[in-house]
Amino acid sequence: MRSKFPGYYRPTEAEFQDLWENGLFVLDTNVLLDLFRYSDETVNALIKNISNLGKRVWIPYRVSLEYHRNLNEVISSQINSYKRTIETLEEFKNQLDAKRSHPFLDNKLHDEIRTFCEKFDSELSKKKDEVELLITENPIKDQISNLLDDKVGDGFDKMALEKICSVGIKRYADKCPPGYMDKKGKHGVDVYGDLIIWNEIIEKSKVEKCHIILITGDVKEDWFLKHSGKTIGPRPELIHEFRTETNKLFYAYPTNQFLEFSNIYFKSNIDKEVIDEVEKVIVTEQKRSETSNTNEAVCITENMTTILPNTGETNNYSTSELIINSSDKIGQTK
């Protein structure tokens, strides 16, 4: 039965070995954006590990587009986080200085706490200033650019994108992965960003005749199968669709698991602290995303009237019909 339902079976050790030895590693948008949320040590470790992949790393055009569009917003969010922490620390210092609030706090302990707070405040302010500089002078952005300069897909033309979005209406209504969880919080073509990325990945595998490992910080249910609070692996539908379209292997890892298995397959020797920090950022961003989307809904059908005005397209497309030949790609749609 494994041959008929590959998505419901964990790959064999031989298949995993084949994936890690010969597959192409594809980075999702959040893998790049999260580099601006990590400590310096974790940034260096992840960039080094990606760099060691050499020519076996690639990003879809849509990933690059989303990364550049959202980068300054991510940096601004980090700046605001530092500001809020500094404000909270300042409030604590003011309460500490209110002697009547702490009648049993001796002067020595008070001075020690105040000294620590001032040192902490100084470090936070310094880090905030460093992050603010990233808006105009960004060494991490330059590193990423140099690393991926010749490893970015060309994207689809306008007609192909319209067809993908058109098919996306029915796929999302049927909760067919990936991307249907993005119906909330996004608008227009952006609603179908994950589906566009998925189609780019499939096309890349067809052209290069290669297996694919997707590395992502998006651990929602429209990418990963979950049961009893545990993540089992990539959605079976994705593995099945990929195998049907390409006759190649597909697997996906959250960024922290990619680092864990890099230690096994590549002997990368990445510290546990680095892996733990990456996992913490994924969990934090997942919670933040769920919170921001709670009261926001998008009517996909209404959005499509602006995406696909008077196209008259039907929804009966297979993946292969959605993808145009690589020689017809033109990059970004207008």
Are 160 and 272 contained in the same domain? yes
221 and 289 both lie in a single domain: yes
Instruction: Centre a 10 Å sphere on the Cβ of residue 199 and count the other Cβ atoms it contains.
Output: 25
Which domain, by its residues, includes 236?
Answer: 12-63+142-323
Query: What pLDDT score was predicted for residue 189?
Result: 92
Other beta carbons within 10 angstroms of residue 192's beta carbon come to 30
Whether residue 157 sits in one domain with residue 115: no
Tell me, yes or no, whether 130 and 45 share the same domain.
no
Residues 50, 97: one domain?
no
Q: What is the pLDDT of residue 310?
A: 38
> What are the DSSP calls for 252-311, one per residue?
EEEHHHHHHHHHHHT-----HHHHHHHHHHHHHHHHHHHHHTTT----HHHHHHHHSTT-
- Same domain membership, residue 266 and residue 134: no
Could you tell me the mean pLDDT of each successive run of 10 residues in the chain, 334 residues long?
88 97 98 95 96 97 97 86 81 71 67 80 79 78 94 96 96 95 84 97 98 96 90 94 97 97 96 96 86 48 38 41 39 40
Q: Are 310 and 262 found together in one domain?
A: yes
Residue 173 is assigned to a structural domain of this protein: yes
Whole-number pLDDT of residue 307 = 39
Q: Which of 117, 140, 163 is the last residue of a domain?
A: 140
Domain match, 246 and 301 both: yes
Say if residue 24 is in the same domain as residue 153. Answer: yes
**Of the residues 140, 165, 191, which one is the last residue of a structural domain?**
140
Same-domain check for residues 122 and 162 = no
Residue 333's pLDDT is 39
Task: State how far the alpha carbon of 317 is from the alpha carbons of 69, 162, 180, 321, in Å.
Answer: 29, 12, 17, 6
pTM of the complete model:
0.79
In a domain, residue 239? The reply is yes
Domains: count for the chain: 2
Residue 330 lies in a domain: no
Of the residues 121, 140, 159, the one at which a domain ends: 140
Hey, is 154 helix, strand or coil? Answer: coil
Asked if the structure places residue 329 within a domain, the reply is no
| Alpha helix segments (H runs only) across the chain | 13-22, 29-33, 40-51, 61-97, 107-133, 139-148, 158-173, 193-208, 236-246, 255-265, 272-292, 300-307, 319-322
Asked if the structure places residue 328 within a domain, the reply is no
Is 269 inside a domain boundary?
Answer: yes
- The verdict on 53 and 159 lying in the same domain is yes
Interatomic CA distance for residues 43 and 49, integer angstroms = 10
pLDDT digits (tens, 9 = 90+) for 150-193: 999 999 999 999 999 999 999 999 999 999 998 777 888 999 99
In a domain, 4, yes or no: no
Residue 292 has what pLDDT?
Answer: 63
Q: Are residues 48 and 128 in the same domain?
A: no
pLDDT (0 to 100) of residue 52: 96
Residue among 235, 248, 258 nearest 178 (CA)? 235
Residue 184 belongs to a domain? yes
